[in-house]
Amino acid sequence: MKPSILVTRAIFPDVIDRLAQYFDVDSNQEDAVLDAAALRERLAGKAGVLANAADRIDGALVCALPQLRAVCNMAVGYNNLDVPALTAAGVVATNTPDVLTETTADFGWALLMATARRVTESEHYLRAGKWERWSYDMLVGMDVFGATLGILGMGRIGQAIARRASGFGMPVIYHNRSRLPAETEQQLNARYVTKDELLAQADHLILVLPYSPESHHAIDAAELAKMKPTATLINLARGGIVNDAALANALRARQIFAAGLDVFEGEPSVHPDLLTVPNVVLTPHIASASEKTRRAMATLAADNLIAALDAGPNAGHPPSVINPDVMPRRR
């Protein structure tokens, strides 16, 4: 008998077909939103799950599911998983790093450019029929070329963003939990600074750090007050890293120039104050959303699940395990 798995959200049908070669697949191709109770119900008796970053898989759920052996996120971020609880229970957890790095870095730049140069605000202005004539101060923004780029969180995506900065002649400063090796700093032309220096010196500040209790509200009213009034802030990482209410206040008060947000606290809800300030560009968590990259993410998540449940050509060796300690004593 094939092991049973759940795919919590709609994904490419051919990926479902591939999973079906190895598993009895309960798929959610109708893409119904599974709340915590529905998720628990659908997971009963399943050996594995191909999950989405919005599916909360915590200690209580893991304890209630003794047959669960693998949780495979279709996302690089995994703050939706209680990794210590999964590890303690002997459940393999995986994510999808690398395949989305460049696409996400591209989108960081798209959001930065749109924010600094007021692209969406300009389009709304035009569509509303307000464009009557040229004027010297119409929708003026902040320069990107030559400005100082600040990056908070210098992992794979932060580094891919930094690499792109040379074409814009931008000095790059960064802050990270651990400083990069000197050789990498040199290759990226990036200078390590304290968090306070980063806030004070960046003309455009991009957030690409993982969400954790330590990074909760890493950008709050006090941090926003340290930024330049001409600065922009881009959140590409996770909701909750920025205090969205404090950001809306800072934007309204013109304490900073503008913000670009792809992620939100409590998404898909968006703080109502952010919807009423003009100097913010808002996108619905689409940084990795290119056709090619979403396919690569789904394929990697499926590869992880097949291998984690000891099937397929890499049986027992999932390519991107978050908790490798679990492998010798997994369920």
The three state secondary structure string of 190-247 is EEECCHHHHHHHCCEEEECCCCCHHHCCCECHHHHHCCCCCCEEEECCCCCCECHHHH
- What single letter denotes the amino acid at residue 169? G
Between 103 and 122, how does the x/- string for binding to ligand GLV read (CB under 6 A)?
--------------------
Q: Could you tell me the strand order of the sheet in which 172-175 lies?
A: 190-192, 172-175, 149-152, 204-207, 232-235, 258-261, 280-282
Between 26 and 65, how does the x/- string for binding to ligand GLV read (CB under 6 A)?
---------------------------x------------
DSSP alpha helix (H) spans, 23-155: 36-43, 59-63, 83-88, 101-116, 119-127
Buried b (16+ CB within 10 A) or exposed e, 33-57: ebeeeebeebbeebbbbbbbbebeb
Interface residue with ligand GLV among 15, 43, 75, 246 (CB under 6 A) is 75
The whole-angstrom separation of Cα 19 and Cα 306 is: 7
Interface residue with ligand GLV among 76, 248, 274, 311 (CB under 6 A) is 76
Exactly one of 238, 271, 294, 330 is catalytic; name it: 238
Interface residue with ligand GLV among 77, 90, 171, 319 (CB under 6 A) is 77
The whole-angstrom separation of Cα 188 and Cα 165 is: 9
Determine the interface stretch with ligand GLV among 56-64, 72-80, 157-165, 185-193 (rule: CB under 6 A). Answer: 72-80
Exactly one of 40, 252, 267, 295 is catalytic; name it: 267
242 binds ligand GLV (CB under 6 A): no
The whole-angstrom separation of Cα 49 and Cα 71 is: 5
Interface residue with ligand GLV among 87, 101, 288, 299 (CB under 6 A) is 288
Q: Is 285 a catalytic residue?
A: yes
- What single letter denotes the amino acid at residue 86? L
- Position closest to ligand GLV via CB: 77
Q: Is 214 a catalytic residue?
A: no
210 binds ligand GLV (CB under 6 A): no
| 48 close to 70: Cβ distance less than 8 angstroms | yes
Between 83 and 102, how does the x/- string for binding to ligand GLV read (CB under 6 A)?
-----------------x--
What's the closest the beta carbon of residue 75 comes to ligand GLV, in angstroms?
A: 3
**What is the torsional sign of CA 275, 281, 285, 290?**
positive
Determine the interface stretch with ligand GLV among 15-23, 34-42, 74-82, 108-116 (rule: CB under 6 A). Answer: 74-82
Positions marked active-site = 238, 267, 285
- Can you give the binding site for ligand GLV, defined by CB under 6 A? 53, 75-77, 100, 288
